[in-house]
């Protein structure tokens, strides 16, 4: 379907703004639905991982869909045709999700769990953790195609995923604020300090990763397996029945 952002005329020759508004609203809703579909998958993975491994790899999740005004600015910057099909093909971050993890290993593990799902298609990977940007920015960026089931069709929607550690997220937030405070012209001394801060954040991530590995190893050696936080209590009688392979409840016979 090709819908033009440009002037559209109705039967009387007037601009058909109502049709354009409806088309654009539906277009934006598709991206919102795509993000929400992916958020549900992430929530399920988080809950299952918590039960299996007794901790959550996810600290925080944020998401957004670009406003029409922001989308229009990006279309102009990219020099794209003013059609919805051109936006679908040329802009991958109309919808975006940012996941903050505790440890570097969690970012990769989570990316594997998400992209391993058969109904998702991985479009692009940019690993700024392994290869940081010159200013020190680190994050794992994925473009994932999500099927959205509508009343009349299945629409495939691209969603950008940013997965990073708490330290990476703190640095990126600070860099973003400074970037706009100085209208993209950051003084050289501040740039140098930002780069040093990025290195310090990276060292902190490495140290926390080592501590986490050691604590996990020691915990596995000395701690008995206990129910995950939030898990429903299971009666001991049921566990014993399952262990024996018998069911003594006459109502179940």
State the CATH number of the domain containing residue 46: 3.30.460.10
Please indicate, yes or no, if residue 83 is contained in any of the structural domains. yes
48 is catalytic: no
In a domain, residue 57? The reply is yes
Chain segment 169-211, per-residue pLDDT in tens: 999 998 888 877 887 777 888 888 888 899 999 999 999 999 9
Would you say residue 140 lies in a domain? Answer: yes
- Residue of 62, 160, 214, 221 with catalytic role: 160
Element spanning 122, H or E = strand 121-127
- Whether 129 maps to a domain, the answer reads yes
- Please calculate the CA angle 200-204-208 and round it to the nearest 5 degrees: 175
Token duo for residue 35: 């993000």
Q: What percent of the chain has pLDDT over 70?
A: 85
In a domain, residue 229? The reply is no
Q: Is residue 4 part of a domain?
A: no
Residue range(s) defining the domain that contains residue 30? 17-166
C-beta of residue 112 within 8 angstroms of C-beta of residue 124: no
Domain count, the chain: 1
At 140 the pLDDT is: 98
Give the model confidence (pLDDT) of 33-56 as tens digits: 999 999 999 999 999 988 888 888
Work out the angle between the directed axes of helices 166-181 and 188-222 (0-180°, nearest 10). Answer: 160
pLDDT exceeds cutoff 60 at 219: yes
Rounded to 5°, angle at Cα 204 from 202 and 210: 105
| Residue 79 falls inside a structural domain | yes
Tokens at 162, concatenated: 């940013």
Which tokens is 16 given? 């058909």
Residue 30 placed within a domain? yes
């Amino acid at each position: 379907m090709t819908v033009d952002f440009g002037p559209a005329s109705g039967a009387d020759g007037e601009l058909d703004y109502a049709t354009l508004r409806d088309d654009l609203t539906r277009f934006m809703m598709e991206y919102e639905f795509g993000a929400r579909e992916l958020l549900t998958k992430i929530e399920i993975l988080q809950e299952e991982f918590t039960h299996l491994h007794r901790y959550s790899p996810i600290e925080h999740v944020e998401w957004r869909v670009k406003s029409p005004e922001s989308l229009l600015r990006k279309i102009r910057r990219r020099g794209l045709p003013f059609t919805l099909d051109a936006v679908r093909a040329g802009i991958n971050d109309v919808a975006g999700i940012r996941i903050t993890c505790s440890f570097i290993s969690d970012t990769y593990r989570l990316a594997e769990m998400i992209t391993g799902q058969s109904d998702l298609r991985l479009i692009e990977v940019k690993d700024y953790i392994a290869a940081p940007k010159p200013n020190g920015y680190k994050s794992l960026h994925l473009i994932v195609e999500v099927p959205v089931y509508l009343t009349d069709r299945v629409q495939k929607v691209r969603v950008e995923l940013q997965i990073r550690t708490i330290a990476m997220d703190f640095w990126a937030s600070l860099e973003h604020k400074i970037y706009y405070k100085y209208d993209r012209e950051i003084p050289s001394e501040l740039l140098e300090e930002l780069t040093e801060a990025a290195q310090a954040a990276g060292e902190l991530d490495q140290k926390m990763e080592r501590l986490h590995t050691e604590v996990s190893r020691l915990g596995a050696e000395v701690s008995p397996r206990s129910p995950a936080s939030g898990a429903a209590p299971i009666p001991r009688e049921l566990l014993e029945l399952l262990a024996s392979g018998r069911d003594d409840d006459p109502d179940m016979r």
